[in-house]
Structure 1
Amino acid sequence: MRLFSPLYDRVMAWSRHRHAQWYLGGLSFAESSFFPIPPDVMLAPMSMARPASAWRFALITTLASVAGGLLGYVIGAFAFELIEPLVGQGGRYHEAFEQGRAWFDQWGVWAVFLAGFSPIPYKIFTITAGVLSMALLPFLLASAVGRGARFFLVAALMAWGGEPMERRLRQYVDTLGWLMLLLIALVVMLY
């Protein structure tokens, strides 16, 4: 059943849209402070569709993500009461928030760098940094280096693959999609 290839085609068309970089910047900003979808889902196809612009896309993603991280920091520092029901005892993100706090206790500013580079929800660390009143300059530097390393790596890999990778991926996208769903189902059942 070809469920994923029409979606793939749509995403690739969106990635070529003339306003795509503005949407990428908005998504990157939002994801760093409150939105759950990572910007990689736009950055990767945009870099693959337009390899010559990949570095610009990575820079936009990095700058917008760091600016969004600053908003997360401000939320943690000045408006924590508004989100406390989500991260407090019994809240939806309580475990992630407590894990972030433990990482800050153990690694300090390196926790921001690791969260910026890894698939860990970065917004948890931006808000936690604000709650803990982390020094702003080290926070911003760690964010810029961690997020930049991640996004430039994604852009470079996708640009390197370019159109040949796009065609090849299109060929197998349905098989890969179903395998991923199966893997997720197995993990959920085992967990």
Structure 2
Amino acid sequence: MLRGLYDWTLSLAARKSAEWWLAFIAFVESSVFLVPADVLYLPMALSRPDRAYRYALIATVASVLGGIAGWFIGHYAYEAVAKPVLEFYGKYDEFEALRTSSGIGFIVLMLITSGAAHLPPIKVVTILSGVIGVNLLLFIVLAIVARGGRFLLLAWLLRRYGEPIRDFIEKRLGLLAGAAAAILILLYFAAKYAL
């Protein structure tokens, strides 16, 4: 099922309506969808490098709007909407563990690492942010920084290095971003418990 969903998402890059699909997938990825917008963004930016920054802007705006929707789902519709979505993706237990142990500082860190490296998935963090009541303006600013930074970095890499960087991005960037996210998390805990 997941492979079919991935392949279908990838096929959207060849359509004339690809920008609308990119916006749609970036929006729903931030609140309920499993496949990251990168799956559509990368082939679109590689096929039209002159539009890489345009696509990055579309993905960023739609992702932030989707994150706001996720925040509202968590804040106002946790039991009715968020809980069934989390259970469907098998993320409910992870979510509950984060919910009981998270303060605002940790949510801020998770939003940045999730936006940059998908650790944990962005939909989990957006919903959690709404559930615990992270300030909406702070949430929006952090989402813009995290998601915009990710898509703009990809645009820059694709414009600068083109097709050869694609293999690196698809296979190793997630690992490098995950390592950076782990370092950020360790630094957060070190600072929290050292002070």
TM-score by length of 2: 0.71
- Residue 114 of structure 1 corresponds to 113
- Residue 128 of structure 1 corresponds to 128
Aligned length: 158
- Residue 153 of structure 1 corresponds to 153
Structure 1 residue 153 displacement after superposition = 1.3
Output the CA distance in 2 between the equivalents of 1:85 and 1:21. 29
Structure 1 residue 57 displacement after superposition = 0.3
Q: Is the 8 A contact 2:32 2:85 kept in 1?
A: no
Output the CA distance in 2 between the equivalents of 1:25 and 1:105. 29
Structure 1 residue 86 displacement after superposition = 5.3
Q: Is the 8 A contact 2:71 2:127 kept in 1?
A: yes
Output the CA distance in 1 between the equivalents of 2:98 and 2:50. 37
Structure 1 residue 31 displacement after superposition = 0.3
Structure 1 residue 154 displacement after superposition = 1.7
Mapping of residues 1-191 of structure 1, within 5 Å: 11=10, 14-82=12-80, 83-85=82-84, 87=86, 92-101=90-99, 102-104=101-103, 107-120=106-119, 121-162=121-162, 164-165=163-164
Q: Which deviations, in whole Å up to 9, do the C-alpha atoms of 1:128-156 show, x marking residues without a partner?
A: 00000110111000011001111111222
Structure 1 residue 108 displacement after superposition = 3.8
Q: Which amino acid aligns with 1:114?
A: T
Q: Is the 8 A contact 2:12 2:21 kept in 1?
A: no
Q: Is the 8 A contact 2:30 2:126 kept in 1?
A: yes
Output the CA distance in 1 between the equivalents of 2:160 and 2:39. 17
Q: Taking CA–CA contacts closer than 8 Å with sequence separation of 6 or more, which of the two structures ends up with the larger relative contact order? A: 1
Three-state SS of the structure 1 residue aligned to 2:34 is coil
Q: Which amino acid aligns with 1:20?
A: A
Q: Which deviations, in whole Å up to 9, do the C-alpha atoms of 1:62-81 show, x marking residues without a partner?
A: 00000000000010011101
Output the CA distance in 2 between the equivalents of 1:103 and 1:159. 38
Output the CA distance in 2 between the equivalents of 1:18 and 1:159. 21
Identity of paired residues, percent? 36
Q: Is the 8 A contact 1:100 1:125 kept in 2?
A: no
Output the CA distance in 2 between the equivalents of 1:46 and 1:26. 14
Q: Is the 8 A contact 1:97 1:124 kept in 2?
A: yes
1:14–1:73 CA distance, 2 compared to 1 (3 A): closer
Q: Which has the larger radius of gyration?
A: 1
Output the CA distance in 1 between the equivalents of 2:84 and 2:23. 28
Q: Is the 8 A contact 1:50 1:159 kept in 2?
A: no
1:33–1:80 CA distance, 2 compared to 1 (3 A): same
Structure 2 residue runs without a partner (length 5+): 1-6, 172-195
Structure 1 residue 17 displacement after superposition = 2.8
Q: Which deviations, in whole Å up to 9, do the C-alpha atoms of 1:91-111 show, x marking residues without a partner?
A: 921233135433545524232
Output the CA distance in 2 between the equivalents of 1:36 and 1:106. 26
Q: Which amino acid aligns with 1:160?
A: R
1:141–1:105 CA distance, 2 compared to 1 (3 A): closer
